[in-house]
Amino acid sequence: MPRQINPFFYGGPVHPSRFIGREEEIKTIMNRIAGPATEAIALYGERRIGKTSLLHYLAAPATRNSWELSADQYGFVYLDCQEVSPFSLLLFLHSLLSLIKRQLADWNLEMDIRKLEEKDSISVTDLGILLGDIVRENREIVLLLDEFDYIIGNTDPAKPYPLSALRSLVNRQCLTLIVASYEPVAALTQGMYFEGPPFHNIFASVSLGPFSEQEANQLIDKALQGTKVIFSEDDRKFVYEISKGHPYWLQNACYKLFNRYIESTTV
Protein backbone atom coordinates (compact mmCIF):
# COMPACT_ATOMS: atom_id res chain seq x y z
CA MET A 1 0.00 0.00 0.00
CA PRO A 2 1.49 3.41 -0.88
CA ARG A 3 2.45 5.57 2.08
CA GLN A 4 -0.04 8.22 3.10
CA ILE A 5 2.00 11.41 3.18
CA ASN A 6 0.72 13.90 5.73
CA PRO A 7 -0.67 16.82 3.68
CA PHE A 8 -0.36 19.43 6.44
CA PHE A 9 2.73 21.57 6.30
CA TYR A 10 4.58 23.78 8.77
CA GLY A 11 8.17 23.91 7.53
CA GLY A 12 8.14 27.21 5.60
CA PRO A 13 5.83 28.97 3.14
CA VAL A 14 3.09 26.79 1.63
CA HIS A 15 3.01 25.93 -2.05
CA PRO A 16 0.70 28.25 -4.07
CA SER A 17 -1.40 25.22 -5.08
CA ARG A 18 -2.21 24.64 -1.37
CA PHE A 19 -2.81 28.31 -0.52
CA ILE A 20 -6.22 29.17 0.94
CA GLY A 21 -8.13 32.18 2.28
CA ARG A 22 -6.96 35.81 2.49
CA GLU A 23 -9.61 36.65 -0.08
CA GLU A 24 -10.17 40.22 1.09
CA GLU A 25 -6.46 40.98 1.19
CA ILE A 26 -5.92 39.45 -2.25
CA LYS A 27 -8.82 41.39 -3.69
CA THR A 28 -7.44 44.66 -2.28
CA ILE A 29 -3.99 43.96 -3.69
CA MET A 30 -5.09 42.68 -7.10
CA ASN A 31 -7.55 45.52 -7.64
CA ARG A 32 -4.78 47.99 -6.97
CA ILE A 33 -2.41 46.19 -9.32
CA ALA A 34 -5.02 46.09 -12.08
CA GLY A 35 -6.01 49.73 -11.47
CA PRO A 36 -4.85 52.57 -13.71
CA ALA A 37 -2.12 53.97 -11.43
CA THR A 38 0.92 52.09 -10.15
CA GLU A 39 0.73 51.56 -6.43
CA ALA A 40 2.65 50.66 -3.30
CA ILE A 41 1.22 48.23 -0.80
CA ALA A 42 2.72 47.29 2.56
CA LEU A 43 1.76 43.94 3.97
CA TYR A 44 2.57 43.31 7.61
CA GLY A 45 1.93 40.66 10.24
CA GLU A 46 3.64 38.55 12.86
CA ARG A 47 6.14 35.78 12.15
CA ARG A 48 4.79 32.70 10.34
CA ILE A 49 1.41 34.35 9.77
CA GLY A 50 1.71 33.66 6.04
CA LYS A 51 3.22 36.78 4.45
CA THR A 52 5.68 34.87 2.29
CA SER A 53 3.02 32.31 1.34
CA LEU A 54 0.77 35.16 0.20
CA LEU A 55 3.55 36.80 -1.84
CA HIS A 56 4.36 33.46 -3.49
CA TYR A 57 0.68 32.99 -4.23
CA LEU A 58 0.43 36.44 -5.82
CA ALA A 59 3.51 35.75 -7.95
CA ALA A 60 2.28 32.35 -9.14
CA PRO A 61 1.25 32.29 -12.84
CA ALA A 62 -2.04 30.53 -11.98
CA THR A 63 -3.06 33.44 -9.71
CA ARG A 64 -2.25 36.03 -12.36
CA ASN A 65 -4.30 34.02 -14.85
CA SER A 66 -7.28 33.77 -12.51
CA TRP A 67 -7.29 37.58 -12.26
CA GLU A 68 -6.96 37.85 -16.03
CA LEU A 69 -3.69 39.75 -15.81
CA SER A 70 -1.82 38.83 -18.95
CA ALA A 71 1.77 37.64 -18.64
CA ASP A 72 2.66 39.97 -21.47
CA GLN A 73 1.50 43.01 -19.53
CA TYR A 74 2.18 42.19 -15.86
CA GLY A 75 5.51 40.84 -14.72
CA PHE A 76 5.67 39.67 -11.11
CA VAL A 77 9.15 39.66 -9.61
CA TYR A 78 9.68 38.25 -6.11
CA LEU A 79 12.75 39.06 -4.02
CA ASP A 80 13.48 38.02 -0.45
CA CYS A 81 15.55 41.02 0.69
CA GLN A 82 17.62 38.85 3.04
CA GLU A 83 19.12 37.36 -0.11
CA VAL A 84 20.93 40.67 -0.63
CA SER A 85 23.25 39.99 2.25
CA PRO A 86 25.37 41.96 3.17
CA PHE A 87 22.98 44.64 2.04
CA SER A 88 24.15 47.37 -0.31
CA LEU A 89 22.15 49.38 -2.80
CA LEU A 90 24.42 48.19 -5.60
CA LEU A 91 23.92 44.52 -4.77
CA PHE A 92 20.19 45.13 -4.42
CA LEU A 93 20.04 46.67 -7.91
CA HIS A 94 22.11 43.82 -9.37
CA SER A 95 19.85 41.29 -7.72
CA LEU A 96 16.75 43.01 -9.09
CA LEU A 97 18.15 43.13 -12.60
CA SER A 98 19.11 39.46 -12.56
CA LEU A 99 15.61 38.56 -11.37
CA ILE A 100 13.89 40.71 -14.00
CA LYS A 101 16.07 39.23 -16.71
CA ARG A 102 15.32 35.69 -15.64
CA GLN A 103 11.69 35.87 -14.54
CA LEU A 104 10.58 38.02 -17.47
CA ALA A 105 12.61 36.21 -20.10
CA ASP A 106 9.80 36.66 -22.67
CA TRP A 107 9.98 40.44 -22.44
CA ASN A 108 13.27 40.56 -24.37
CA LEU A 109 15.06 42.68 -21.80
CA GLU A 110 18.19 40.59 -21.75
CA MET A 111 20.28 42.86 -24.00
CA ASP A 112 19.39 46.05 -22.11
CA ILE A 113 20.01 44.43 -18.74
CA ARG A 114 23.27 42.86 -19.85
CA LYS A 115 24.51 46.31 -20.90
CA LEU A 116 23.69 47.65 -17.44
CA GLU A 117 25.30 44.69 -15.70
CA GLU A 118 28.50 45.24 -17.66
CA LYS A 119 28.82 48.81 -16.33
CA ASP A 120 31.18 49.41 -13.42
CA SER A 121 28.34 50.66 -11.32
CA ILE A 122 24.57 50.66 -11.69
CA SER A 123 22.54 53.58 -10.39
CA VAL A 124 18.90 53.97 -9.47
CA THR A 125 18.63 56.30 -12.46
CA ASP A 126 19.72 53.41 -14.73
CA LEU A 127 17.03 51.19 -13.26
CA GLY A 128 14.49 54.04 -13.56
CA ILE A 129 15.29 54.42 -17.28
CA LEU A 130 14.90 50.68 -17.87
CA LEU A 131 11.60 50.56 -15.95
CA GLY A 132 10.39 53.71 -17.77
CA ASP A 133 11.03 52.00 -21.11
CA ILE A 134 9.05 49.00 -19.89
CA VAL A 135 6.11 51.21 -18.83
CA ARG A 136 6.14 52.94 -22.22
CA GLU A 137 5.56 49.56 -23.81
CA ASN A 138 2.40 49.33 -21.73
CA ARG A 139 3.93 46.80 -19.39
CA GLU A 140 4.18 46.85 -15.63
CA ILE A 141 6.56 45.25 -13.21
CA VAL A 142 5.04 44.24 -9.89
CA LEU A 143 7.93 44.01 -7.46
CA LEU A 144 7.28 41.85 -4.39
CA LEU A 145 9.85 42.60 -1.69
CA ASP A 146 9.72 40.09 1.15
CA GLU A 147 11.58 40.71 4.42
CA PHE A 148 11.46 44.43 3.79
CA ASP A 149 12.47 44.95 7.46
CA TYR A 150 15.92 43.78 6.37
CA ILE A 151 16.40 46.69 3.94
CA ILE A 152 15.10 49.18 6.49
CA GLY A 153 17.28 47.71 9.24
CA ASN A 154 20.35 48.06 7.03
CA THR A 155 19.65 51.63 5.95
CA ASP A 156 21.31 54.63 7.56
CA PRO A 157 18.42 56.53 9.28
CA ALA A 158 20.08 59.85 8.47
CA LYS A 159 20.51 58.98 4.78
CA PRO A 160 17.88 56.39 3.85
CA TYR A 161 18.85 56.50 0.20
CA PRO A 162 17.64 52.98 -0.82
CA LEU A 163 14.18 53.80 0.52
CA SER A 164 14.07 57.23 -1.15
CA ALA A 165 15.10 55.54 -4.39
CA LEU A 166 12.25 53.03 -4.16
CA ARG A 167 9.84 55.86 -3.40
CA SER A 168 10.98 57.82 -6.41
CA LEU A 169 10.47 54.77 -8.68
CA VAL A 170 6.92 54.34 -7.36
CA ASN A 171 6.14 58.07 -7.61
CA ARG A 172 7.44 58.14 -11.18
CA GLN A 173 4.98 55.33 -11.95
CA CYS A 174 7.83 53.01 -12.91
CA LEU A 175 6.63 49.98 -10.95
CA THR A 176 4.06 48.61 -8.54
CA LEU A 177 5.67 47.80 -5.23
CA ILE A 178 4.43 45.29 -2.64
CA VAL A 179 6.50 44.93 0.51
CA ALA A 180 6.09 42.54 3.44
CA SER A 181 7.42 43.11 6.93
CA TYR A 182 6.89 42.08 10.52
CA GLU A 183 5.82 45.55 11.62
CA PRO A 184 4.09 48.34 9.70
CA VAL A 185 6.50 50.40 7.57
CA ALA A 186 5.55 53.54 9.56
CA ALA A 187 6.83 51.94 12.76
CA LEU A 188 9.97 50.55 11.12
CA THR A 189 10.96 53.88 9.58
CA GLN A 190 10.20 55.99 12.63
CA GLY A 191 13.10 58.32 13.33
CA MET A 192 14.44 58.16 9.79
CA TYR A 193 15.03 61.39 7.97
CA PHE A 194 13.24 61.78 4.63
CA GLU A 195 13.07 64.90 2.54
CA GLY A 196 9.41 65.71 1.97
CA PRO A 197 6.56 63.55 3.26
CA PRO A 198 7.30 60.44 5.36
CA PHE A 199 8.31 57.35 3.41
CA HIS A 200 5.36 55.24 4.56
CA ASN A 201 2.89 57.69 2.96
CA ILE A 202 3.31 55.97 -0.40
CA PHE A 203 1.92 52.70 0.95
CA ALA A 204 -1.57 51.38 1.44
CA SER A 205 -1.27 49.05 4.44
CA VAL A 206 -2.70 45.54 4.54
CA SER A 207 -2.40 43.64 7.80
CA LEU A 208 -2.40 39.84 7.95
CA GLY A 209 -3.96 38.30 11.03
CA PRO A 210 -4.96 34.79 12.08
CA PHE A 211 -7.31 32.72 9.92
CA SER A 212 -11.04 32.94 10.49
CA GLU A 213 -12.77 29.67 11.35
CA GLN A 214 -14.03 29.54 7.80
CA GLU A 215 -10.47 29.86 6.43
CA ALA A 216 -9.26 27.19 8.85
CA ASN A 217 -11.96 24.85 7.54
CA GLN A 218 -10.96 25.66 3.96
CA LEU A 219 -7.35 24.76 4.78
CA ILE A 220 -8.42 21.47 6.37
CA ASP A 221 -10.78 20.58 3.50
CA LYS A 222 -8.14 21.31 0.88
CA ALA A 223 -5.46 19.30 2.69
CA LEU A 224 -7.72 16.30 3.31
CA GLN A 225 -8.84 16.11 -0.32
CA GLY A 226 -7.59 12.85 -1.78
CA THR A 227 -6.99 11.27 1.64
CA LYS A 228 -9.36 8.96 3.48
CA VAL A 229 -9.15 10.98 6.67
CA ILE A 230 -12.07 13.08 7.84
CA PHE A 231 -11.80 15.62 10.67
CA SER A 232 -14.96 15.78 12.77
CA GLU A 233 -16.63 19.02 13.79
CA ASP A 234 -15.09 18.62 17.27
CA ASP A 235 -11.62 18.05 15.76
CA ARG A 236 -11.95 21.25 13.78
CA LYS A 237 -13.07 23.25 16.79
CA PHE A 238 -10.20 21.83 18.84
CA VAL A 239 -7.44 22.63 16.32
CA TYR A 240 -8.86 26.10 15.76
CA GLU A 241 -9.03 26.86 19.46
CA ILE A 242 -5.59 25.48 20.23
CA SER A 243 -3.96 27.38 17.33
CA LYS A 244 -6.08 30.51 17.73
CA GLY A 245 -6.26 30.46 13.95
CA HIS A 246 -2.53 31.16 13.53
CA PRO A 247 -1.62 29.36 10.25
CA TYR A 248 1.63 27.84 11.52
CA TRP A 249 0.10 26.45 14.72
CA LEU A 250 -3.05 25.37 12.89
CA GLN A 251 -0.99 23.37 10.38
CA ASN A 252 1.06 21.97 13.22
CA ALA A 253 -2.02 20.83 15.17
CA CYS A 254 -3.62 19.39 12.03
CA TYR A 255 -0.40 17.54 11.17
CA LYS A 256 -0.45 15.78 14.53
CA LEU A 257 -4.17 15.05 14.38
CA PHE A 258 -3.81 13.58 10.89
CA ASN A 259 -1.07 11.25 12.17
CA ARG A 260 -3.34 10.12 14.99
CA TYR A 261 -5.97 9.12 12.44
CA ILE A 262 -3.44 7.27 10.29
CA GLU A 263 -2.02 5.45 13.33
CA SER A 264 -5.49 4.45 14.53
CA THR A 265 -6.33 2.93 11.15
CA THR A 266 -3.04 1.04 10.76
CA VAL A 267 -2.89 -0.46 14.27
Partner 1 sequence: MMSNTTSNPFQHEGAVPPDRLIGREKEVNIILDLIANPARGSSAIAGEQGIGKTSLLSHISAPAVSRDWGLSPEWCSFIKIDCQTITSPTKITFWSKVLDTMERSPFDEELRREYERLRAKDLITGFELRQLFDKFAEANKLIVLLLDDFHWIIDHVNPDKPDLLNTMRSLINRPLRGLSIVITTPDPLDALCNNIDFSGSPFQTSFAFVQLGPFTWDEANELIDRALASTEVRFTESDRRSVYEASKGHPARLQKACYDLFENYAKGSADKGS
Per CB under 8 A, residues contacting partner 1 are 3, 5-7, 9-18, 47-48, 52, 56, 59-60, 78, 80-86, 91, 94-95, 98-99, 102, 146-150, 152-154, 181-182, 255, 259
Cβ-in-10-Å burial (0-12, 13-18, 19+) of 162 comes to buried
C-beta of 18 vs 236, nearer to partner 1: 18
Cβ at position 59, least distance to partner 1 in Å: 6
C-beta of 102 vs 172, nearer to partner 1: 102
Cβ at position 138, least distance to partner 1 in Å: 25
C-beta of 32 vs 56, nearer to partner 1: 56
Cβ at position 230, least distance to partner 1 in Å: 19
Q: In this structure, which amino acid lies at residue 61?
A: P
The count of other CB atoms within 10 Å of the CB of residue 42 is 22
C-beta of 147 vs 235, nearer to partner 1: 147
CA atoms within 13 A on the CB side of 123: 4
Cβ at position 115, least distance to partner 1 in Å: 18
E-assigned strands of 61-155? 74-80, 140-146
Residue 13: phi and psi, rounded to 5, are -65, 145
The count of other CB atoms within 10 Å of the CB of residue 121 is 8
